[in-house]
Structure 1
Amino acid sequence: MARDEDRQVVWADDFRGLAWSPPDVRVWRHETGAGGWGDEQLQRYTASTRNAHLTGDGRLAITARREADGDVTSARLTTLGRLTVRRGRVEARIRQPRGAGTWSAFWMLGDDLEDVGWPACGEIDVMEHVGAEPRTVHGTVHGPGYAGVGGGVGGSHEASAPLADGFHVYAVKWTDDAVVWDLDGTEYHRVTPDDVPGPWPFRHGFHLLLNLAVGGRWPGNDASGVPLPATMLVDHVRVLDLASGGAEVTLHR
């Protein structure tokens, strides 16, 4: 029997393009601005290719920088209104940034975000990584009654070496009634409706997000001495079918 990760690729972005060009505007758009993003993060997200650009060799670089005036800039990309995913194996191959104070993420939010708000729309964090825990990946879901830093329902996995040392595949296998996380094909956590203390808002379409934050209220991730620039390198993002089928991807073009 074929493994889930050997199943058909339903959609993929392998970030092919000229060096210093933006990611595919038919799929990705920028969310910009500062204000702490809900938990006192330091960065201001921009649409500049200094903060998000293709490398020319099939990768996307998201870079946090300290500008000449002391401002910290970075990028947050979303597919809201351009690409919707429902179910399937959702994965990204990423090399993490290095240094305490960095906070990288590959995640999903419900497409009804602008109608019902967060956390009612649901949030699936495929991967979160903070530089203060160089070998640890976190996977979490958030919904009504279980949301926010320390409030979501999730698990973590500790790799044998710092995750910034090389590329790793971060994934969830998502069905209507379960979310299962793995790192490089090794399962480390799963959540079902019975495991959450509230509604299960994961049976509808979601959009993808990639971002690199600096600081924030993640315990122990002190950004006072974070070495910048710091770069999150993304080799690919893919949605694959599962053995049970049912993966759906919609492009809004």
Structure 2
Amino acid sequence: MKNLSVLLLLTGLVATAQVKKGKLIWEENFDGKALNEKVWNFELGNGCPNNCGFGNAEKQTYTNSNHKVEGGFLTITTKKEGDGYTSTRITTEGKKEFKYGYMEARLKLPVGKGIWPAFWMLGGNIDQVGWPLAGEIDIMEYVGREPHMAYATLHTTETHGEHANGEKTEFKNLEEGFHLYGVNWTKDKITFYVDDKEVHSFAPQDKSDPKVWPFNQPFYFILNCAVGGYFGGMEVDNGIFPQQYVIDYVKVFAN
């Protein structure tokens, strides 16, 4: 039934909900010539020694130099350098965190086997309670080994990792130009969208258990491009590099 619902959605045989975006309450348009470090943090390194490969056997090392801000875009460039790979990962942890709203980004994806860009959120209490109890909202994940597939996923204590609550949806033109990726997050429900089309939703009846519904607290944004790993794929095509992940904007609307 899960695959059937995706097929029906793609062929237009079921109606898609109209996206309702309220008042704009925050936006990052990447104006200027550098990241605003009053908003963004750089996460550096490869996760070692405490979390090598970021728990996913990822192959990249994050730097503060694999990006540029120019012409109203943030461009993350992922490179093959020597025996390894370099990329950029930035977060708004402790600086811009949000509880509920419609979150959206306009993104142009890198492509090729081994590439793994993402636009996602983590619970602001992660340093206190750890993952997955803090919760995770993966608004957009794309893995180059699966062309045309957009992933939308929630991780909680009850459903995380290989058993995460999510959906992947095929869009034939996903690799062409910019696309919109959004999530409408309310106190009762989380709904994901690609180009304003609903692709997944979650609304448990009992939201009192943080192991099921940790989504009643502020979350922060993460933008990054990983290489390889359990999800990105252990086989990496070194011929694809360098690859660029281009972010036009990130916006938050009231709902």
Q: Which bracket does the TM-score occupy, shorter chain normalised?
A: 0.7 to 0.9
Q: How far off its partner does 1:107 sit?
A: 0.4
C-alpha distance in structure 2 between counterparts of 1:10 and 1:60, whole Å: 20
Write the letter of the residue equivalent to 1:29. N
Q: Which runs of 5+ in 1 are unaligned?
A: 243-253
On the 8 A contact 1:100/1:226 being kept in 2, the answer is no
Runs of 4+ residues over 4 Å off in structure 1: 194-198
C-alpha distance in structure 1 between counterparts of 2:72 and 2:253, whole Å: 19
Aligned equivalent of 1:37:
54
Aligned equivalent of 1:101:
114
On the 8 A contact 2:122/2:135 being kept in 1, the answer is yes
On the 8 A contact 1:172/1:181 being kept in 2, the answer is yes
> 1:76 is matched with which residue: 89, 114, 117?
89
On the 8 A contact 2:26/2:253 being kept in 1, the answer is yes
The TM-score, its normalising length taken from structure 2, stands at 0.86
Q: What do residues 86-128 of structure 1 show as CA deviations (whole Å, max 9, x unaligned)?
A: 1010010000001111001100000001000001101000010
C-alpha distance in structure 2 between counterparts of 1:171 and 1:214, whole Å: 23
C-alpha distance in structure 2 between counterparts of 1:31 and 1:107, whole Å: 14
Is 1:57 the counterpart of 2:71 in the alignment?
A: yes
Aligned equivalent of 1:24:
36
Q: What do residues 49-78 of structure 1 show as CA deviations (whole Å, max 9, x unaligned)?
A: xx1220x211000111112x3321101100
Q: What do residues 147-178 of structure 1 show as CA deviations (whole Å, max 9, x unaligned)?
A: 12x221011211122x2211000000001221
Distance 1:187 1:3, change over 3 A: closer
Q: How far off its partner does 1:146 sit?
A: 1.5
On the 8 A contact 1:132/1:221 being kept in 2, the answer is no
The TM-score, its normalising length taken from structure 1, stands at 0.86
Aligned-residue Cα RMSD (Å) equals 1.9
On the 8 A contact 1:142/1:153 being kept in 2, the answer is yes
> 1:168 is matched with which residue: 179, 185, 192?
179
Write the letter of the residue equivalent to 1:178. K
For residues 118-157 of structure 1, what are the structure 2 equivalents within 5 Å? 118-148=131-161, 150-157=162-169
Q: Which runs of 5+ in 2 are unaligned?
A: 1-17, 47-51
C-alpha distance in structure 1 between counterparts of 2:248 and 2:239, whole Å: 24
On the 8 A contact 2:136/2:155 being kept in 1, the answer is yes
Q: How many residues align?
A: 231
Q: How far off its partner does 1:221 sit?
A: 6.2
